[in-house]
Structure 1
């Protein structure tokens, strides 16, 4: 082994070791704690109170129970706070994850969720180890907003069964598609039950709206469920309630599952992992822009979220992600370090240990009201309007992503949205590429009209290849073509192949091709694809336009196109 190979191997090992070191928790995570601990404590208690009804509601909406939602908020919230890459991210069950989990529960049973959580968590953590944290940046803004709109619509639709029947979400015979299930539940509604359920949901929504007007720090959702629960205790209502909750966390254990069923879970596992990664990174990125709480490490965030989902699965919970709404509450309440997110998990644990009984009496319709308003608030309607007024391409990507999210699948929606956005972006990029015939510089000489100087501007890529070929081949009555390449900043293999075809086609027509201004970073591609081999002579490659023109005129003269006798030569 050469010394150069040893040095390269040592360098790779050093980079890997540095990357792994950056993923570990450390004292640096709490460097400012002495100055911020009071604010972190207050923020942690505040976001814990806000997270309680959401954890309960998302647990029920996923087709599981309020217990699973609460367990996930506690375990995943704590682990993500310690191991994640953001100082202020709050993690737990989210509406987007509920949308994916409900069909899994319907198809594979509630027991499969813990298995999916563990396997998906491993994939997410592996993505962080492989430095894939920055890939979320390729998702265009209109796609993200369309995805959010679709999730908001689904969460709202998922609450309709909770206000039409005591069975609520996951009622027997209902479709796994939220829109279809909502229509089915309306068709089968017990309208006496609906009156009570809608009334309680409206009371909760009113409390949340009024609380927000009084002061942003007033926990409207908690106020709403307290009022709704007291009303249900005071009045003889038929409303279904959460029911008994465990008075502590279960012991961690591997979930039982059928190994033969693992291939059927492969798709759901990948979907959950992709969603967990995307939503967590988006939330962390938003959090970093909201306040000066330090930068976030995208790869460490993936590792932390993966560990959080694995931990939640071991305790019988569900996959977790970073929660944008709760993270925003955390920051606005004054959080500056991870202590706030840890305290949020401790507050929820205290609820399980000391208040399981009262929490079990909360009516499911009250949780439905909270989630309905949450779904409405998820969507930034001003942003949606601005996207619709922007370009047709962005509006199409936004609408298509939202529609596919509601009608089919979240991950498919993101993929389709990115593909559509990429298609329009490539189309616009291809339109930028121009082919221009320039006049021969300097004093005109006889025969110059038989020389075509063709200048390329913009990217020469697969999307513009055919058009570029047709435009160059349209030049007629010429004997020499000078292809000016100095303004081509981007060129791919297809673009280089098109250039090779242009050279070969012109040479077959008896037109001599000269190439001027190939950038150094493109030379290897031109050589590999065969552009340079297609030239009639190695002397037909130039760095200076003046030299290329002199050589072109020599070809005109040898061809007898300036009035003299034709000669042979290169």
Structure 2
């Protein structure tokens, strides 16, 4: 091995080691802790209080148990905080994940969720190691908002069965589609149960709306849930409750992996992994823009979220993601380091160890109310109006993503939304490509009637290639074409190939092609694809227009003299 090869291999090894270290926790993660720890403690307690009803509610709504939601919030909350790439991200069960888990539970059973969580966690972890964290930047804003709107609608509808009957659950007898399930639940509503459930839900929502008006720090959801729980214990009623909760965390264990069922679990795991990656990266990006909390590392964030879902699966929990709402509460409450998210998990663990009994008596209708109002608050009217009033293509991508999310599948909705937005973006970009025929400047010459100066503006790529080809090769009654390329922007291989075909087509007709102003950044591509080689002579490449025009005029004069003789 030569010294150069050894040095190159050593350099690659050093870069790989540095990248591996960047994906792991380090003392730098807590560099500012001496300055921020008080705010982190306050924020952690605040988020823990806010997260309790959400963790319970999402656990129930997914078709699992309230315990599964709590376990996920605790285990995944700690692991994602320590290993993730954001200083302020708060992770746990989310409404978007519930939307995906409901059909999984309905078709494969609750026991499959831990295995799906484990498999999805491994996939997300691998995605982080492969540096796929920046992929979320390719999702347009209207698609993200359409995705959010669709999730909000589904979360709201998933709570309807909890308000109309104590005997049904969203993932039980109902369709896996939230719209159909809500309609089925209403059709079989228990007339004696509905007034009690709606009354409990109304009381919780009223507390959540009014409490912040008194003071922003007042946890309206907990006050409402506590009030409804006390009333339900005192007054005889038919309200269904959470039921018994363990007073400790379950022991970690590998979920049962049946090779025969692994094929059925792989596709759900891929869906869960894609959602976990997208939602976590979006949440981390939003958090980084809310306050000066430091940059986030998207690749490390995927690694952390993958570890979090693996840990949650080992404790019989659910797949975890970064939670946008809880992360926002964390930042607004003063959280600036990972300590806040760790404290949030410790607060939830305290509820398990100390208050499992009281928590088990919470009516399910109260949790449904929390999630319903949370879903409503996910949608911002001003944002929806601004997208709908922006451009037709963005409005269509927004509406289409929302409709597909509600009616079909979340990941498919994102893919369709991105494809839709990408199609219109390419169409608009291709419209920026223009072909202009110019008149020679200065004193006109008799030869100019046989010369066409064609200026190519904007990007020249596959979406505009055919249009450019037709415009240039459609010129008639000329002997020389000067292609001005100094204003070309992006050029891809298809665009370069079309230029080659333009030159070859015109030369076959006896039309001489001169090229002027090839940019240095395009020259290598033009040589590789054959644009320059297709010219009749190497002297037909020019740096300025006057030289190209003079050569074109002399060429026309030579042709005229040849014909006259």
**What corresponds to 2:70 in structure 1?**
70
Deviation of 1:441 (Å):
3.1
Match status 1:239 vs 2:231 = no
Match status 1:543 vs 2:543 = yes
Deviation of 1:567 (Å):
9.3
Match status 1:419 vs 2:383 = no
**What corresponds to 1:348 in structure 2?**
348
Contact 1:242 1:362 in 2 (8 A): yes
Contact 2:247 2:352 in 1 (8 A): yes
Contact 1:456 1:488 in 2 (8 A): yes
Contact 2:166 2:239 in 1 (8 A): yes
Contact 2:160 2:185 in 1 (8 A): yes
Contact 1:557 1:566 in 2 (8 A): no
Aligned equivalents of 1:132 and 1:172: distance in 2?
Answer: 36
Contact 2:95 2:155 in 1 (8 A): yes
Aligned equivalents of 2:308 and 2:547: distance in 1?
Answer: 66
Aligned equivalents of 2:267 and 2:99: distance in 1?
Answer: 15
Contact 2:62 2:171 in 1 (8 A): no
Q: TM-score, normalised by structure 1?
A: 0.97
**What corresponds to 1:31 in structure 2?**
31
**What corresponds to 1:441 in structure 2?**
441
**What corresponds to 1:10 in structure 2?**
10
Q: What SS class does the counterpart of residue 327 from structure 2 fall into? A: helix
Q: What SS class does the counterpart of residue 507 from structure 2 fall into? A: helix
Aligned equivalents of 2:6 and 2:548: distance in 1?
Answer: 46
Could you list the per-position Cα deviations for residues 111-148 of structure 1 after superposition, in whole angstroms to 9, with x for gaps in the alignment? 11111111111111111111111111110000000000
Contact 2:90 2:322 in 1 (8 A): yes
Q: What SS class does the counterpart of residue 412 from structure 1 fall into? A: helix
Question: Structure 1 residues 489 and 2, CA, compared in 2 at 3 Å: closer, same or farther?
Answer: farther
Match status 1:136 vs 2:136 = yes
Aligned equivalents of 1:54 and 1:565: distance in 2?
Answer: 88
Q: What SS class does the counterpart of residue 459 from structure 2 fall into? A: coil
Q: What SS class does the counterpart of residue 471 from structure 1 fall into? A: helix
Contact 2:79 2:308 in 1 (8 A): yes
Deviation of 1:376 (Å):
0.2
Question: Structure 1 residues 363 and 141, CA, compared in 2 at 3 Å: closer, same or farther?
Answer: same
**What corresponds to 1:482 in structure 2?**
482
Could you list the per-position Cα deviations for residues 341-379 of structure 1 after superposition, in whole angstroms to 9, with x for gaps in the alignment? 101101111111111110000000000000000000011
Aligned equivalents of 1:541 and 1:128: distance in 2?
Answer: 47
Counterpart mapping for 1:148-159 below 5 A: 148-159=148-159
Deviation of 1:2 (Å):
4.0
Q: Which moved more, 1:221-230 or 1:263-272?
A: 263-272
Question: Structure 1 residues 567 and 501, CA, compared in 2 at 3 Å: closer, same or farther?
Answer: farther
Aligned equivalents of 1:428 and 1:101: distance in 2?
Answer: 38
Deviation of 1:443 (Å):
2.2
Deviation of 1:566 (Å):
4.2
**What corresponds to 2:321 in structure 1?**
321
**What corresponds to 1:291 in structure 2?**
291
Contact 2:114 2:316 in 1 (8 A): yes
Match status 1:270 vs 2:270 = yes
Contact 2:105 2:112 in 1 (8 A): yes
**What corresponds to 1:58 in structure 2?**
58
Q: Which 5+ residue runs of structure 1 have no aligned equivalent?
A: none
Contact 1:106 1:170 in 2 (8 A): no
Aligned equivalents of 1:167 and 1:7: distance in 2?
Answer: 69
Aligned equivalents of 1:379 and 1:12: distance in 2?
Answer: 47
Deviation of 1:474 (Å):
2.5
Aligned equivalents of 2:238 and 2:372: distance in 1?
Answer: 21
Aligned equivalents of 1:245 and 1:350: distance in 2?
Answer: 13
Match status 1:195 vs 2:202 = no
Contact 1:92 1:321 in 2 (8 A): yes
Could you list the per-position Cα deviations for residues 151-179 of structure 1 after superposition, in whole angstroms to 9, with x for gaps in the alignment? 00000000001111113433543110000
Aligned equivalents of 1:418 and 1:2: distance in 2?
Answer: 48
Tell me the matched-pair count: 565
Aligned equivalents of 2:544 and 2:512: distance in 1?
Answer: 17
Aligned equivalents of 1:57 and 1:438: distance in 2?
Answer: 68
Aligned equivalents of 2:556 and 2:3: distance in 1?
Answer: 55
Aligned equivalents of 1:204 and 1:567: distance in 2?
Answer: 97
Could you list the per-position Cα deviations for residues 278-337 of structure 1 after superposition, in whole angstroms to 9, with x for gaps in the alignment? 111111111111111111111111111111000000000010011111111111111111
Q: Which moved more, 1:395-404 or 1:116-125?
A: 116-125
Aligned equivalents of 2:40 and 2:470: distance in 1?
Answer: 65
Aligned equivalents of 1:161 and 1:27: distance in 2?
Answer: 48
Q: Which moved more, 1:417-426 or 1:441-450?
A: 441-450
Aligned equivalents of 1:159 and 1:258: distance in 2?
Answer: 33
Q: Which moved more, 1:12-21 or 1:278-287?
A: 12-21
Deviation of 1:491 (Å):
0.8
Aligned equivalents of 2:538 and 2:245: distance in 1?
Answer: 82
Q: Which moved more, 1:213-222 or 1:72-81?
A: 213-222
Contact 2:211 2:219 in 1 (8 A): yes
Match status 1:403 vs 2:403 = yes
**What corresponds to 1:338 in structure 2?**
338
Aligned equivalents of 1:549 and 1:484: distance in 2?
Answer: 11
Aligned equivalents of 1:273 and 1:150: distance in 2?
Answer: 19
Q: What SS class does the counterpart of residue 281 from structure 2 fall into? A: helix
Aligned equivalents of 1:206 and 1:358: distance in 2?
Answer: 22
Contact 1:111 1:257 in 2 (8 A): no
Deviation of 1:187 (Å):
0.8
Contact 1:68 1:317 in 2 (8 A): yes
Q: TM-score, normalised by structure 2?
A: 0.98
Aligned equivalents of 2:430 and 2:171: distance in 1?
Answer: 51
Aligned equivalents of 1:241 and 1:110: distance in 2?
Answer: 19
Question: Structure 1 residues 260 and 24, CA, compared in 2 at 3 Å: closer, same or farther?
Answer: same
**What corresponds to 2:182 in structure 1?**
182
Aligned equivalents of 1:169 and 1:130: distance in 2?
Answer: 39
Aligned equivalents of 1:100 and 1:435: distance in 2?
Answer: 49
Aligned equivalents of 1:69 and 1:171: distance in 2?
Answer: 15
Aligned equivalents of 2:282 and 2:256: distance in 1?
Answer: 33
Q: Which moved more, 1:171-180 or 1:335-344?
A: 171-180
**What corresponds to 2:219 in structure 1?**
219
Contact 1:92 1:323 in 2 (8 A): yes
Question: Structure 1 residues 567 and 550, CA, compared in 2 at 3 Å: closer, same or farther?
Answer: farther
Q: What SS class does the counterpart of residue 489 from structure 2 fall into? A: coil
Would you identify which runs of 4 or more consecutive aligned residues in structure 1 move more than 6 Å? none
Q: Which moved more, 1:395-404 or 1:530-539?
A: 530-539
Q: What SS class does the counterpart of residue 36 from structure 2 fall into? A: helix
Q: Which moved more, 1:183-192 or 1:152-161?
A: 183-192
